[in-house]
Structure 1
Amino acid sequence: MKTRAVRLHGANDLRLEEFELPAIKDDEILVRIVSDSICMSTYKCATLGEDHKRTRDLANHPAIMGHEFAGDIVEVGAKWADEYQPGMRFTIQPAINWQGTMWSPGYSYEFCGGDATYCILPAEVMYAGCLLKYHGEAYYEASLAEPMSCSIGAFHAAYHTQMGVYEHFMGIKEGGNLAITAGAGPMGLGALTYALHCDRRPGLVMVNDIDQERLDRAAQLFDPATVKDETGIDLHFVNTAGMADPAAELIALTNGHGYDDVLCYAPVAAVVKLSSDILGRDGCLNFFAGPTDTEFTAPINFYDVHYNSTHVMGTTGGNTADMEESLDLCAQGRIDPAVMVTHVGGLDAAAEATLNLPKIPGGKKLIYPPIDMPLVALDDLRSKAGEDPRYGELADIVDANRGLWCAEAEQYLLSHWG
């Protein structure tokens, strides 16, 4: 079977190619990809090439990009015939951690990745229990379950201590103060929607950023007054750009207590220092944002580490249980990962969007491999209606859903650009 796919041949060398997939083996599964969201990790992989920890021999085996994907099962090898059937919807947990390797779909495989019309899931995906059946309506929600799982994992990995007790108590502090620093971007908003609707919730959430436009969009999606009425959580959006002493002003929101949990969403030294400075006693700082600079360092307050039991840790990715939690919360209507999405496009837009990801404003870029379509911001759909009335009809659907991507928009896109 022929497939079209965006493959990485080396650093900054992404190519949209058509080629023949081999016949599947008895322990492999052939799938059709419907949606794939672009991750900053994919940008890092594309720019680093073979210097990335998850790539291997790109010159001879170029890797299909994209690891946040969902679609339909097409053909099942005999090994898995009792467990999976053609026609099933699926998503995957890409962090398969197979036999101690860092191999991952979307980074390491010549025939497996999300920026493709069809791909082959290698046996280790199924052996590791990372092929997940999806029963929802919208494919994009299954794609976004992966980035959502990364934030969910960060919440679960947080820990707290008690003086004289040599045991870690896992999870964010229930009813405590949570800060999401540099948090008005797509991943920060994903963390926010989880914080407001998960089972173990904080009592106060502060999201800071230096981009007022991003903060305004966040406040529109998560109105603090409505959040207070519906959840009892105090929500604050704060622009720290012009503050003389941002740490003092952010701590003041907690009545001087400081923050029990801080999620740092930017690999910027000043943001890391601020994240450290606002920790309260026994505060847990999760350095969530992965830097590309292997020498990246930032100051933290070691006086507080010693005397106030503050601590620093980091997470990268989530596990299968985190993905399943994300899918369950979506199915229940408790979280809406669409708050992360600001752009949509077809497979022909994936390579350029990936290589220029830091330069493209907004949040998540959602790619639909079955179609060709330029990458378009949801806010710009209306302006393109003059050149193509389909954009106007798509804008009507999005506007009716508070400006957010939705299942109806996805169905329209796939049926009218297919």
Structure 2
Amino acid sequence: MKTKAVRLYGASDLRLEELELPKIKDDEILVKVITDSICMSTYKAAILGENHKRVPNDVSENPIIVGHEFAGVIEEVGAKWQHQFKSGQKFAIQPALNYKGSMASPGYSYMYFGGNATYTVIPQEVMELGCLLPYEGEAFYDASLAEPMSCIIGAFHASYHTKPGKYEHEMGIVEGGKMALLAGCGPMGLGAIDYIIHCDRKPSLLVVTDIDEEKINRARSIFEEDAKNCGVELIFVNTKGIENVHKQLLEYVDGVGYNDVFVYAPVQGLLEDADKILGKDGCLNFFAGPTDNEFSAKVNFYNVHYAATHLVGTSGGNTDDMKESLDMSAKGLINPAVMVTHIGGLNAVADTTLNLPDIPGGKKLIYSHIEMDLTGLDEFEEKGKEDPFFAELAKIVKKHKGLWSAEAERFLLDNYTKNI
């Protein structure tokens, strides 16, 4: 059958094309993609092309489908998996395959397997690893955003602390401790705040920094009351113009330092401030992946030696993290929609991906079967003055505190008529 897909041919070369999918084998599954959220990692792969570690060297002759944060409905199941999956079933994907040591991953490495497509083929290795996950929730975007949420969750599980006199690492953040998120009001930071204040191992104090007052105000409006109800003291700090950021942040913890510090942007100064605010046995988690393979920052090794400070970095989550995200979403404990600020159709993917760092806001959510230019949720009301569809969509978003929602998704899928 035919699919429409956005394919990568090389550095900064993305094309929306129609192509023929091969007939599935007995150990494969054909799926209909409904949603895919665009990840900064896809931007990195798009600008690097074959120089990216996950992108094949022959991508110019054998282009790959981009997108790895996707969800949808199963269309056809190969004979080997018919005891486990069936047509019409909703699904989510865990893209971190790590199959037999291979770096191959959907959205980076496969000709017929990726999220920015109308239909795609799930290969046997995904099935063998248990990375095709049944999804019972209502909204498809929740399943798409379970992937970035799993990366967030994985980072909190990967942080660790030590016990004096014992050679043991206690995994996870310090329960009831002091935590800071630097550059934490972007999409992944918002997801992190949501998880932190609702998980079963939360800090007593969470300090979140950013340099964009508009982002800070949006985050405050979403989380401030909820954090208080969950027993977390939440403080937002605009660090723009502050000469000694680390001194300002240390004032919130009486100078003793933070147990856990997460850095959400690959900026040298942020990392150095993070290092300076660590308390004894403090863990610095560098979450943001740089594109510069020479990226570095100063670390105080006196504190590494005498204060047992340490640094970790995480990239992606595992299948258990993904399941935790899906479970928490289904129970209403987290709302991944806090990350979403724009929606669009498959036609918007190439331009959005290549310009992602320059587009303000949070996650860009793509509905694969429609044609729609990338549109901010805050643009719906203005567009609604001429288009009744957007007028109604604006009302729904307003009803949900300015956030995307299952109601908004249902209205879009049921009423938007311009298909790709």
TM-score range, shorter chain: over 0.9
* Aligned twin of 2:235: 236
For the 8 Å contact 1:66–1:114, the answer to whether it is kept is yes
* Aligned twin of 2:195: 194
Matching residue's letter, 2:31: V
* Aligned twin of 1:206: 207
Matching residue's letter, 1:34: I
For the 8 Å contact 1:286–1:313, the answer to whether it is kept is yes
Cα deviation code 1:368-396 (max 9, x no counterpart): 00111110000111111133221111111
For the 8 Å contact 1:72–1:87, the answer to whether it is kept is yes
Residue-pair matches, total: 416
Cα deviation code 1:315-372 (max 9, x no counterpart): 0000000000000000110000100000000001111100110010000000000111
* Aligned twin of 1:10: 10
Distance 2:147 2:256 in 1: 34
* Aligned twin of 2:54: 54
1:252-263 to 2 correspondences below 5 Å? 252-263=251-262
For the 8 Å contact 1:373–1:417, the answer to whether it is kept is no
CA 1:98 to 1:226, structure 2 compared with 1: closer, same or farther past 3 Å?
closer
Matched, 1:374 2:382: no
Distance 1:226 1:19 in 2: 47
Distance 2:151 2:386 in 1: 39
Distance 2:149 2:207 in 1: 19
Distance 1:414 1:4 in 2: 18
Shifted more, 243-252 versus 348-357: the winner is 243-252
1:92-111 to 2 correspondences below 5 Å? 92-111=93-112
Deviation at 1:163, TM superposition (A): 2.0
Distance 2:387 2:2 in 1: 30
Matched, 1:332 2:308: no
For the 8 Å contact 1:282–1:311, the answer to whether it is kept is yes
Distance 2:151 2:216 in 1: 22
Deviation at 1:23, TM superposition (A): 0.3
Q: Specify the SS of the correspondent of 1:100.
A: coil
Deviation at 1:199, TM superposition (A): 0.8
Matching residue's letter, 1:380: E
Q: CA RMSD in A?
A: 0.8
Deviation at 1:31, TM superposition (A): 0.1
Matching residue's letter, 1:120: V
Deviation at 1:226, TM superposition (A): 4.6
Distance 2:226 2:313 in 1: 32
Matching residue's letter, 1:149: S
Distance 2:75 2:386 in 1: 36
Distance 2:371 2:233 in 1: 43
Deviation at 1:255, TM superposition (A): 2.1
Distance 1:36 1:28 in 2: 21
For the 8 Å contact 1:372–1:417, the answer to whether it is kept is no
Matching residue's letter, 2:96: A
Deviation at 1:180, TM superposition (A): 0.6
For the 8 Å contact 1:156–1:171, the answer to whether it is kept is yes
* Aligned twin of 1:385: 384
* Aligned twin of 2:216: 215
User: Percent identity among equivalent residues?
Assistant: 61
Deviation at 1:256, TM superposition (A): 2.0
Matched, 1:363 2:362: yes
1:262-277 to 2 correspondences below 5 Å? 262-277=261-276
Q: Specify the SS of the correspondent of 1:271.
A: helix
Deviation at 1:124, TM superposition (A): 0.5
1:63-82 to 2 correspondences below 5 Å? 63-82=64-83
Matching residue's letter, 2:9: H
Cα deviation code 1:48-76 (max 9, x no counterpart): 00001111121221110100000000000
Distance 2:195 2:241 in 1: 29
* Aligned twin of 2:294: 295
* Aligned twin of 1:165: 166
Unaligned 5+ segments in structure 2 are: none
Matched, 1:182 2:166: no
Distance 1:417 1:346 in 2: 11
* Aligned twin of 2:44: 44
Deviation at 1:46, TM superposition (A): 0.4
CA 1:226 to 1:199, structure 2 compared with 1: closer, same or farther past 3 Å?
closer
TM-score, structure 2 length as denominator?
Answer: 0.98
Deviation at 1:151, TM superposition (A): 0.6
Cα deviation code 1:259-298 (max 9, x no counterpart): 1001110100001111111111100001000000010011
Matching residue's letter, 1:387: E
Cα deviation code 1:104-161 (max 9, x no counterpart): 0111000010000000011110011100000000000000000000010000001001
Distance 2:163 2:20 in 1: 59
Deviation at 1:241, TM superposition (A): 1.2
Runs of 4+ with deviation above 3 angstroms: none
Deviation at 1:258, TM superposition (A): 1.0
1:95-134 to 2 correspondences below 5 Å? 95-134=96-135
Matching residue's letter, 1:177: K
Shifted more, 235-244 versus 79-88: the winner is 235-244
Distance 1:91 1:416 in 2: 24
TM-score, structure 1 length as denominator?
Answer: 0.98
Unaligned 5+ segments in structure 1 are: none
Distance 2:134 2:201 in 1: 26
Matching residue's letter, 2:215: R
Matching residue's letter, 1:338: A
* Aligned twin of 2:316: 317
Matching residue's letter, 1:316: S
Matching residue's letter, 1:90: F
Distance 2:88 2:220 in 1: 40
* Aligned twin of 1:409: 408
Matching residue's letter, 1:151: I
